[in-house]
Structure 1
Amino acid sequence: MSSIQANQANQPDPIVQSSVAEQQALAYLRSTQAIRDRCGFLFDLACQDKLQSFRCNLNQLDRAATYVLKVMQQRYPDWQIPFHSRWRHFEAGNSDRIAYLNTVLAGLSPLEQARTQFDLVIVSVLLDAGAGLSWQYVEPNTNQVFRRSEGLAIASFHLFLQGGFSSDPNCPLQANAHGLQNFTESTLKQGFQVSEHNPLVGVSGRVQLMQQLGQVLQQSPLLFGADNPRPGYLVDYLMQQSGDGILSAHTVFEVVLAGFSEIWPGRSRLASVNLGDVWRHSALPKGTMGAQLVPFHKLSQWLTYSLLEPLQALGLTIVGLDELTGLPEYRNGGLCVDLGLLQPKSEAIVTQPHAVDSEVIVEWRALTVILIDRLAQTIRQKLSMTPETLPLAKVLEGGTWAAGRAIAADRRADGRPPIQIISDGTVF
């Protein structure tokens, strides 16, 4: 008998019973198993041509895997592929900014270095939603021009070094609660070189996200410290969650969701908790609480991938990497459309922009999650490798994300993805 059935048999207070059901539904929706379950249900419908917006063509799987493999071989001919993470963007333009950061942090203890790296990468990932087609960043010391994710990464990197997220001029290399709460639109625009002629999508949403982050830090002293709360103190908490130097990637993901769920604006709630990147689709069967909700947690997983390297540098062994999923964003999703794995059922899907909560986008993202798993399996088979030797984090980096960008540049002069999303600066 399940715990819910046992409670029903004992005829508990209805309010308590409801609370138990909500908590169980919440815990499920915050798991990567739920992502694969719900996305898998929609994927099965797509394979039966029973979805409104897309059908799947798995006959293209081998061709798509071959394309991704070609990109992987070009980018990493020695097959020493790192994890897909924000740290790769800091290396754009053949400039070793990470080495420079390590030099700046050299006088600190390894633990404090990891905290600072967490501070940097957390604010940078949270500012990573799509920049739009017009925005660019000119790096002051190199005069190199960067756009999209690399531009956002490098802009946030330099803004961090300048103390843009710290309230203490004597300690600029941190992101702390007071600095984030006082983060302004002017600071973002100046740091990201935003102007009338260089517009960035979702400026106000990004600023709100930073301010909300500052408030959340103060509300969770167990995770972020009571004295001068910082995202970086999450390192200390995660070290405590490890056993014998081993830490599960899903544990990091769970802590990320627990720590940052309240920063997302205007999202659905369950058990009084902000669900974040979770959206409704009517093709899922009704029934249990939250049954029609599809979780993705894209930025939370992207952040999880990006936190693993500083933890490894502290000597932790990360296990269970493939419990995390592929990231359902426009490059991976665009790859699936451009290579024919996903076929839009109407021209409006590729000619009109769509809201992030529309069923068109929910379908697109859900099918992408499962197709990335299928691509990873096919690529491993071609290479005679295993999930241990070629985890999903490396397939993404090698990989599907880069291949999505490459095929988009080949298909469209401006390199835009095949489907356009109306962004508020907080999702993609």
Structure 2
Amino acid sequence: MTMYPEEDRGGMDRRGAGEEMRPGGGWLSPVPEGHPASALLCAEAVRTHCAAVTEHVDSGASELFTWHPDRVHAIADYVASTIRQRYPDLQVPYHSRWRHFESGGVDRWQVLCERAGLSGPEHREERARIGIDLVIPSVLLDAGAGPDWRYRDPASDLVLTRSEGLGVASFVLFARGGFSAAPGDPLRADAERLQRIDADSIAHAFQVAQHNPLVGLEGRAGLLRRLGEVMEATPALFGRPARLGNLFDYLKAHAVNDRLDASFLLRTLLVGLGPVWPGRIVIEGVSLGDCWRHPAAPGGLVPFHKLTQWLTYSLLEPLEDAGLTVTGLDALTGLPEYRNGGLLFDFELMVPRDASFAAEPHAVEEPVIVEWRALTVTGLDLVADGVRQALGLAEADFPLARVLEGGTWAAGRRIAAKRRPGGAPPFSIISDGTVF
């Protein structure tokens, strides 16, 4: 990880993302090079540890699943047909939170920028800061909503559910100044304000009521409060006073010829935002976040970093709008959640040995869920290769971020709608609002 010199650019401390700094002056959790947690805080670890679990299952040694790679071809064809239906010209955008902001065919971001006088190339860097202010809290609020929650968009009167509803609800909350501590300047996300957000604030903004329950309400509010605390304690990324949009200046300073590697972006987020996640598995003081135990994985641990990778994908568009090019996108992995993983499960790429598996809800830390998620990561890479072959596209032209959007996530929802009333996932996972 690149180290950098003393403060510059508006009081932002240019210290390296692996350096220890104390609360009130920088990093909340030390993750220097050589720390035993460091090797798990990257996409490469996600891919290699998931591959080890897949090899375990493929060998027949697993008591939980069997593995059927002969199904990859059928899945790839189904995904390719989904892409052709949704994007006949094959011009597929990135899989990101921005797609949810466009729910119902409404380009809410463009409207917001026009109303704020932020259109045009002269405002592109401030647009990026505001885009980061918007998308980070929105992604943290994006865990599964549950089957019964609905959101009525006040602007369009559309009734939205699941990720689309969560996306639009968080967009409206942001546009109204819900994350801003600056009177008269609503389009920002400040540590001071985020630290004051409680479950009632989220419930009101997301139209939660007894007849309209939202899963993981306390968990969502807790994530935003911890986000504010981490921001305030990390001026290296977020400046003083701490604002999420200041992350753009940090990333721009580390771009080389306006090019930024995706692995650097993810590593920055994993180290910088690591303390946001609830304490689960901790190695020498460092919480590993979305990382779980499985005996077949190296060191017995499987990192997924699903929400942080989702956030990385969701930062691509504001960064590119500001003139930065993010390279090496396929270093990132597929996202092991109930749409991507549900697609592979529905097509029987992985088959549970217990025939009653889908009958009961499962906790996220259960070995059977960890194993399913690991198989999903490996399976998505295999399916992505098959999709590119089916579409006649090269990896450079159709990175995983487009395969997911076009794509596996939509195909997972499509097959679920055909197989189960309301399009429910093939099985239920108990969520606290911080993983799915």
**What are the equivalent positions in structure 2 for 1:344-355 lying under 5 Å apart?**
344-355=352-363
- Go from structure 1 to structure 2 and tell me whether the alpha carbon gap of 1:96 and 1:281 turns closer, same or farther (over 3 Å shift): same
Q: Is 1:281 aligned with 2:294?
A: yes
Report the equivalent of 2:415.
407
Q: Secondary structure in 2 aligned to 1:62?
A: helix
Q: Distance in 2 between matches of 1:377 and 1:220?
A: 39
Q: Is 1:83 aligned with 2:94?
A: yes
Q: Distance in 2 between matches of 1:332 and 1:243?
A: 34
Q: Distance in 2 between matches of 1:273 and 1:220?
A: 16
Does the CA contact (< 8 Å) of 2:41 and 2:271 recur in 1?
A: no
Q: Which residue of the other structure, out of 317, 323, 346, is the alignment partner of 1:338?
A: 346
**What are the equivalent positions in structure 2 for 1:263-412 lying under 5 Å apart?**
263-284=276-297, 291-412=299-420
Does the CA contact (< 8 Å) of 1:22 and 1:270 recur in 2?
A: no
Q: Is 1:170 aligned with 2:184?
A: yes
Q: Which residue of the other structure, out of 35, 43, 56, is the alignment partner of 1:45?
A: 56
Q: CA-to-partner distance for each residue in 1:336-373, whole Å, 9 max, x for gaps?
A: 01011111111332111111111011001000000000
Q: Is 1:54 aligned with 2:65?
A: yes
Q: Secondary structure in 1 aligned to 2:185?
A: coil
Q: Distance in 2 between matches of 1:201 and 1:20?
A: 32
Does the CA contact (< 8 Å) of 1:23 and 1:271 recur in 2?
A: no
Q: Secondary structure in 2 aligned to 1:244?
A: coil
Q: Secondary structure in 2 aligned to 1:380?
A: helix
Give, in angstroms, the shift of residue 49 of structure 1. 2.1
Higher helix residue share: 1
Report the equivalent of 1:7.
none
Q: Secondary structure in 2 aligned to 1:343?
A: strand
Q: Which residue of the other structure, out of 181, 194, 201, is the alignment partner of 1:180?
A: 194
Q: Distance in 2 between matches of 1:137 and 1:347?
A: 36
Report the equivalent of 1:102.
113
Report the equivalent of 2:3.
none
Q: Which residue of the other structure, out of 213, 224, 244, is the alignment partner of 1:210?
A: 224
Does the CA contact (< 8 Å) of 1:64 and 1:339 recur in 2?
A: yes
Q: Distance in 1 between matches of 2:46 and 2:73?
A: 24
Give, in angstroms, the shift of residue 52 of structure 1. 2.1
Give, in angstroms, the shift of residue 20 of structure 1. 10
Report the equivalent of 2:13.
none
How much identity, in percent, do the aligned residues show? Answer: 50
Could you tell which deviates more after superposition, 35-44 or 267-276?
267-276
Does the CA contact (< 8 Å) of 1:53 and 1:349 recur in 2?
A: no
TM-score (normalised: structure 2): 0.90
Report the equivalent of 1:6.
none
Report the equivalent of 2:45.
34
In structure 1, give the amino acid aligned to 2:315. L
Does the CA contact (< 8 Å) of 1:349 and 1:360 recur in 2?
A: no
Provide structure 2 residue ranges, at least 5 long, that are not aligned to the other structure: 1-29
- Go from structure 1 to structure 2 and tell me whether the alpha carbon gap of 1:102 and 1:361 turns closer, same or farther (over 3 Å shift): same
Report the equivalent of 1:260.
273
Give, in angstroms, the shift of residue 279 of structure 1. 0.5
Q: Secondary structure in 2 aligned to 1:28?
A: helix
Give, in angstroms, the shift of residue 374 of structure 1. 0.1
Give, in angstroms, the shift of residue 259 of structure 1. 1.5
Q: CA-to-partner distance for each residue in 1:39-91, whole Å, 9 max, x for gaps?
A: 00111121122212211111111111111011000000010000100001111
Q: Secondary structure in 1 aligned to 2:341?
A: helix
Does the CA contact (< 8 Å) of 2:31 and 2:37 recur in 1?
A: no
Give, in angstroms, the shift of residue 167 of structure 1. 2.2
Give, in angstroms, the shift of residue 148 of structure 1. 0.4
Does the CA contact (< 8 Å) of 1:22 and 1:271 recur in 2?
A: no
Report the equivalent of 2:104.
93
Q: CA-to-partner distance for each residue in 1:375-422, whole Å, 9 max, x for gaps?
A: 001111222322101100000000000000000111001211112110
In structure 1, give the amino acid aligned to 2:392. S
Q: CA-to-partner distance for each residue in 1:144-189, whole Å, 9 max, x for gaps?
A: 1100000000000001111111223321111101110011222111
Q: Secondary structure in 1 aligned to 2:422?
A: coil
Give, in angstroms, the shift of residue 142 of structure 1. 1.4
Provide structure 1 residue ranges, at least 5 long, that are not aligned to the other structure: 1-18, 286-290
Report the equivalent of 1:5.
none
Report the equivalent of 2:26.
none
Q: Distance in 2 between matches of 1:162 and 1:396?
A: 31
